[in-house]
Amino acid sequence: MRENPKSIFTIDVEDYYNVTEERGEPPISEWDFLPSIVESGFMKLLNLLDLYQVKATCFFLGYVAQKYPHLVIEAKKRGHEIASHGMFHRLVYKLSREEFIADLLSSKKILEDIISEEVISFRSPSFSVTESIPWFFDALVEAGFKIDSSVFPVKRDYGGYQTTQKKPYWIKTDKGMLCEFPISVAPFCGKDFCFFGGGYLRLFPKRIILSMHSKLAREGNPTLFYIHPREMEPQHPRLKMNKLAYFKSYVNMNTVKPKLEAILSSSKFITCKEYMAIIKDN
Ligand SMILES: [Zn+2]
């Protein structure tokens, strides 16, 4: 019997208020003075992953890594991949190429100083790569990254980048090759949807998520899941935002843990770095 493709579990390690500036994220100058749930939420995630013996790729916000370096050390100690989510959660399409590279390099250096190991994987805040920034992939390789997981193949509020690729694929840039891990989508009523992270994972019922996950596996595609520490702390402080954004940000917060338990026991998981090594050799 053919083994199902291994799945990929990822965490964007950021605080409850890192919801994108358009959705009410407070200015960076206020972050130091706000309550924080990133430590407790992330530790709950690490403990859950241990229970199911799953290794994840943890995309740390540079700001979080700098403030809580012990979280990076703990994740590394437990065998997870340490990766970057940028420095200050700024939407990439709002930055110049130079600003983006500076942001990338500072987050990379902070993480590498903590773990004494090269950091090669990146995910942009809010999946904010769009066709409007054609330099995005070149800039990543120029800054020393080999893996990206920013492509969200269907339209969304703050990004969306069209591709027909359903599994990790290589992108040739002017600076070298980059392995892209697009967010998983599956067809539902004739349209592709993401069922596997953020508001989507909270909105859809567990049985639909698991059935879409099996569907991808039958087609030979790994499912890429993504989650945030705030989803393990359902009572975290709420930010002020319009009704629709509030719904998207906070719907079904209590359903995440049972969904994760079902997901984590449903598959074998592998980190982005491990997955890249396998497809490189094939
Ligand atoms: Zn984020």
Task: Assign residue 234 the CATH number of its domain.
Answer: 3.20.20.370
Cα 18 to ligand 1 centre (Å): 6
Q: pLDDT below 70 — which residues of the chain?
A: 1-4, 282
Say how far apart CA 62 and CA 67 lie, in whole Å.
9
Structure confidence at residue 116 (pLDDT): 98
Say how far apart CA 17 and CA 26 lie, in whole Å.
7
Structure confidence at residue 246 (pLDDT): 82
Cα 60 to ligand 1 centre (Å): 9
- How many domains in the chain? 1
Cα 144 to ligand 1 centre (Å): 21
Cα 128 to ligand 1 centre (Å): 10
Cα 127 to ligand 1 centre (Å): 8
Q: Is residue 2 part of a domain?
A: no
Q: Is residue 3 part of a domain?
A: no
Q: Is residue 187 part of a domain?
A: yes
Q: Is residue 29 part of a domain?
A: yes
Say how far apart CA 7 and CA 269 lie, in whole Å.
5
Structure confidence at residue 23 (pLDDT): 80
Q: Is residue 227 part of a domain?
A: yes
Say how far apart CA 152 and CA 159 lie, in whole Å.
7
Q: Is residue 1 part of a domain?
A: no
Neighbours of ion ligand 1 (CB under 5 A): 12, 14, 125
pTM tops 0.85: yes
Cα 1 to ligand 1 centre (Å): 38
Cα 116 to ligand 1 centre (Å): 24
Structure confidence at residue 24 (pLDDT): 84
What tokens does 202 get? 């909270």
Cα 125 to ligand 1 centre (Å): 4
Structure confidence at residue 188 (pLDDT): 87
Q: Is residue 261 part of a domain?
A: yes
Structure confidence at residue 215 (pLDDT): 94
Say how far apart CA 43 and CA 157 lie, in whole Å.
29
Q: Is residue 179 part of a domain?
A: yes
> Comparing C-alpha atoms, which of 3, 2, 5, 11 is closest to residue 216?
5
Structure confidence at residue 1 (pLDDT): 40
Cα 72 to ligand 1 centre (Å): 16
Cα 201 to ligand 1 centre (Å): 15
Q: Which amino acid is at 275?
A: Y
The rounded mean pLDDT for the chain is: 93
Q: By residue range, what is the domain housing residue 256?
A: 8-281
Cα 170 to ligand 1 centre (Å): 23
